[in-house]
Amino acid sequence: MNPGPREEEGLKTNQRITITEVALRDGSHAINHQYTADQVISIAKALDEANVPYIEISHGDGLAGSSLQYGLSRTNEMELIEAAVSVCTASKIGVLLLPGIGTIRHLNEAAKLGIGMARIATHVTEADISAQHIARSKELGLHTVGFLMMSHMAPPRLLAEQAKLMESYGADTVYVVDSAGALLPHQVTERIRALTQSLSVPVGFHGHNNLSLAMGNTLAAIEAGATWIDGSVRCLGAGAGNTQTEVLVAVLDRLGIETGIDVYKIMDLAEEIVAPILLKPQEITRGSLILGYAGVYSSFLLHAERAAEKFGLDARDILLEIGRHKAVGGQEDMIMSVAAELAKGKREAPV
């Protein structure tokens, strides 16, 4: 750890935060799922040397996500997982699994490769479908996380009820997941507090930066009691990306909040290894901004842009209509049908 200037008062001095790095999973969306084994090895090795506790690796939509619907991976995710495990000594490798996309078989296969964590992700009101996957993850001896996606779509009370279900199935940690980057800081505070007051297990937060609030929301989550936090080096993730890991580590160090991550090494990794592989800078464009504004799943952006080009539409109109339909993760196929309907209506509109 490189000691830097500290603020006199932090959120909670001597507080310990566990960071999970998601660039090799959520960041897969940003590069069209084109990671190579060599890229994963170089990034995972540098993360391990920086002492990042957990590194999540899989297709952007979780285990078995590689498909025409979600996007085809360049390299089989099991090869990427195996490659990362082979170069990590301090960091543990984790995976994301969405029941209905990934199966128990995929979880078993990843476990044989040496992963240490499984995050079982469901829509915020569908925690009940996670029971068998959480149970199997526990049987495999993995740190097991309940991951409640699109958390802006449920009020705090309902969110807490769903989190309690995941806890009852055996989850070691439960996350509030702002998949759309739509939450405002006070809404994050309300949701994290609802969970910390209802659960006996730790609470986590996963943010997206579509409204430029990922860092602010993350600090609000920590202040409200979250002790597990996701970050992505160079902000590499779906939409406008996630809470930027190297910035987060520096900010928490200033606040006197311990992460165990080397500030200089995580900065160097972001600048020298991750930045060169970006297809374009992770920034808040009109497309990613509309995701947060409309409350739409962040990975829908590239799909909407392709549909807009095909049908001669504005991607923003497609995403706003998707938001009105209250589409959730896993419904990417709806984007083309919505675009087709909008194009039909445009053609039939009186001139």
Q: What is the pLDDT of residues 64-75, one digit of tens each?
A: 998 877 778 999
- Rounded Cα distance between 18 and 20, Å, is 7
The pLDDT score that the predictor gives to residue 13 is 53
Among 46, 48, 55, 45, residue whose Cα is nearest residue 19: 55
Give DSSP secondary structure letters for 312-324.
Answer: T--HHHHHHHHHH
The pLDDT score that the predictor gives to residue 346 is 78
Please, are residues 140 and 170 in contact by the beta-carbon 8 Å criterion?
A: no
The pLDDT score that the predictor gives to residue 67 is 84
Please, are residues 220 and 189 in contact by the beta-carbon 8 Å criterion?
A: yes
Nearby residues of 153 by Cβ (< 8 Å), 6 or more positions away = 123, 124, 125, 295, 326, 328
Q: Which two tokens stand for residue 34?
A: 């084109």
Beta bridge partners of 71: 67
130 pLDDT higher than 80 = yes
Cα of 160 vs its chain's centroid, Å: 20
The pLDDT score that the predictor gives to residue 83 is 97
The pLDDT score that the predictor gives to residue 332 is 76
Exposure b/e, 7-21, CB count within 10 A at least 16 = b:
eeebbeeebebbbbb
119 assigned ligand-binding residue: no
The pLDDT score that the predictor gives to residue 3 is 52
241 pLDDT higher than 60 = yes
Maximal CA-CA distance, the chain = 66
What's the mean pLDDT in 177-189? 97
- Rounded Cα distance between 98 and 62, Å, is 6
Lowest-pLDDT range of 53-67, 110-124, 193-207, 289-303: 289-303
Q: What is the pLDDT of residues 251-290, one digit of tens each?
A: 999 999 999 999 999 999 999 999 998 878 888 989 889 9
Q: List Cα–Cα distances, 34 to 93, 265, 294, 324, in angstroms.
A: 19, 25, 28, 31
Among 251, 317, 245, 316, residue whose Cα is nearest residue 285: 316
106 assigned ligand-binding residue: no
Q: Which two tokens stand for residue 329?
A: 């993760």
Nearby residues of 299 by Cβ (< 8 Å), 6 or more positions away = 29, 60, 61, 70, 238, 239, 329, 332
Q: Give one word for 233, left, alpha or beta, with left for phi > 0 and alpha for psi -120 to 50.
A: beta
Cα of 10 vs its chain's centroid, Å: 26
Nearby residues of 351 by Cβ (< 8 Å), 6 or more positions away = none
What's the mean pLDDT in 221-237? 97
Q: Which two tokens stand for residue 235?
A: 């902000």
297 assigned ligand-binding residue: yes
Q: Which two tokens stand for residue 343?
A: 């194009």
* pLDDT confidence bin for 4, thresholds 50/70/90: low
The pLDDT score that the predictor gives to residue 7 is 47
Beta bridge partners of 99: 102
Annotation says 325 is catalytic: no
Say if domain 299-348 classifies as CATH 1.10.8.60.
Answer: yes
* pLDDT confidence bin for 185, thresholds 50/70/90: very high
Write out the residue limits of the CATH 3.20.20.70 domain(s) in the chain: 18-276
The pLDDT score that the predictor gives to residue 102 is 96
194 pLDDT higher than 90 = yes
pTM of structure: 0.91
Among 300, 242, 235, residue whose Cα is nearest residue 71: 300
206 assigned ligand-binding residue: yes
Q: What is the pLDDT of residues 6-47, one digit of tens each?
A: 544 445 556 899 999 999 999 999 898 999 999 999 999 999
Write out the residue limits of the CATH 1.10.8.60 domain(s) in the chain: 299-348
What's the mean pLDDT in 108-124? 98
- Rounded Cα distance between 138 and 200, Å, is 17
CATH for 18-276 is 3.20.20.70
Q: What is the pLDDT of residues 139-172, one digit of tens each?
A: 999 999 999 999 999 999 999 999 999 999 999 9
Q: Considering only residues 281 and 109, tell me which one the structure prediction assigns the higher pLDDT.
A: 109
116 pLDDT higher than 70 = yes
191 assigned ligand-binding residue: no
Number of neighbouring beta carbons within 10 Å of residue 264: 13
Angle between helices 286-294 and 315-324 (to 10 degrees): 10
Output the CA angle 206-135-55, nearest 5 degrees.
35
